[in-house]
């Protein structure tokens, strides 16, 4: 374990720890403790210092731990042992994984988790804000032999897989917002970003990035421009990110396996049954244009079917964003 990882582990209970005590436990000087704490705060972790008492996190956390994740994976652990990368910090797990697999022989199910992202990416060119060490920042890679057309609907199936992982984790009442946001009480709990690359004749490489809010600090909350919620708000406790990571990995890997054989069809009905806007009046924003209508369902490629008066139009996920109708 490196010093940074050990330091986070010591602080993870969110109790006060003196510089002297931390230094002794880590085998480093107080000045070195101070330097390491500064680096952590530069990564975005809130570490408070109170004279006479020491250092303290604003909320407890569960550090990512490879053997705990593998334990939670149970019988699936063997499939991931050589395919799981845990990082302290990277710019984006999607970008990091893309670079890693450029020369890799094994690729399907390769996964990367990070404690902190300095340039986390969201959909539609937005930044993804996630307080370091408190959230799930995860990517998984898969290669399909066919062209990119074959993977339409994949990001919806992935959203469903993440939702099922959250169900199994113990989150009640979450649902999907087309194309692949996971919402709870109308607020965003998790988001997915699919980076798809391929020639028209194939193969197609998909890097699927997942962000789940475990805990968002007050400072980070101010940088999020949409309603959000985190697991701490929902469950009233510190997220066990190792169990959650294992669940997300297992559900996503299973989804990829089924999707590569059968495409989107086996997911379509289950996806619709969890769509929070099914049958509701919605608005679709496309640049500065806006459409409104009723969300009728999704087609066989994952496109959203909107009915407006007698017209029926299908929208695709790259081009629009969905909002509830104004009341
Ligand atoms: C969205 O809803 O806008 C998509 C959010 C995706 C965030 C995750 S966090 C892990 C992975 N790495 C990234 O840079 N983005 C995705």
- Residue 155 Cβ contacting ligand 1 at under 6 Å: no
Q: Which atom of ligand 1 is nearest to the CA of 126?
A: 3
pLDDT of residue 148: 86
| From 123, 241, 250, 253, the catalytic residue | 123
pLDDT of residue 321: 87
Residues of the chain with pLDDT under 50: none
pLDDT of residue 37: 96
Candidate from 44, 94, 156 with most ligand 1 atoms within 8 A of CB, to mutate: 94
Cα separation, 162 vs 212, in Å, equals: 9
pTM, two decimals, is: 0.95
Residue 121 appears among annotated catalytic residues: no
pLDDT of residue 304: 95
pLDDT of residue 106: 75
Q: Which atom of ligand 1 is nearest to the CA of 138?
A: 10
pLDDT of residue 320: 83
β-pairing, 187-198 vs 304-308, is unpaired
Q: Which atom of ligand 1 is nearest to the CA of 180?
A: 2
């Amino acid at each position: 374990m490196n010093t940074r990882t050990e330091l986070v582990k010591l602080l993870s209970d969110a109790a006060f720890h003196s510089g002297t005590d931390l230094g002794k436990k880590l085998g480093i000087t107080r000045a070195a403790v101070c330097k390491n704490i500064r680096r952590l705060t530069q990564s975005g972790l809130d570490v408070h210092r109170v004279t006479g008492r020491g250092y303290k996190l604003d909320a407890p956390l569960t550090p990512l731990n490879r053997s705990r994740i593998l334990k939670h994976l149970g019988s699936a652990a063997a499939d991931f042992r050589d395919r799981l990368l845990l990082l302290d910090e990277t710019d984006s797990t999607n970008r990091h994984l893309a670079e890693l697999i450029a020369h890799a022989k094994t690729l399907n199910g390769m996964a990367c988790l990070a404690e902190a992202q300095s340039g986390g990416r969201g959909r539609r060119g937005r930044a993804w804000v996630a307080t370091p060490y408190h959230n799930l920042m995860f990517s998984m890679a898969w290669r399909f032999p066919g062209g990119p057309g074959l993977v339409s609907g994949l990001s919806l199936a992935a959203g469903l897989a993440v939702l099922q992982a959250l169900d199994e984790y113990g989150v009640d009442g979450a649902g999907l917002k087309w194309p692949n946001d996971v919402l709870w009480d109308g607020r965003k709990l998790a988001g997915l970003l699919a980076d798809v690359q391929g020639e028209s004749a194939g193969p197609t490489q998909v890097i699927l990035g997942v962000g789940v809010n475990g805990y968002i600090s007050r400072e980070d909350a101010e940088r999020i421009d949409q309603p959000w919620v985190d697991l701490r708000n929902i469950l009233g406790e510190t997220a066990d990110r190792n169990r959650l990571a294992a669940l997300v990995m297992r559900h996503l890997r299973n989804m990829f396996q089924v999707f590569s054989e059968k495409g989107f069809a086996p997911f379509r009905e289950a996806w619709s049954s969890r769509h929070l806007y099914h049958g509701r009046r919605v608005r679709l924003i496309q640049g500065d244009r806006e459409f409104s209508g009723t969300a009728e369902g999704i087609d066989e490629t994952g496109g959203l079917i909107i009915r407006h008066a007698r017209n029926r139009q299908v929208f695709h996920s790259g081009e629009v964003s969905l909002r509830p109708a104004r009341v």
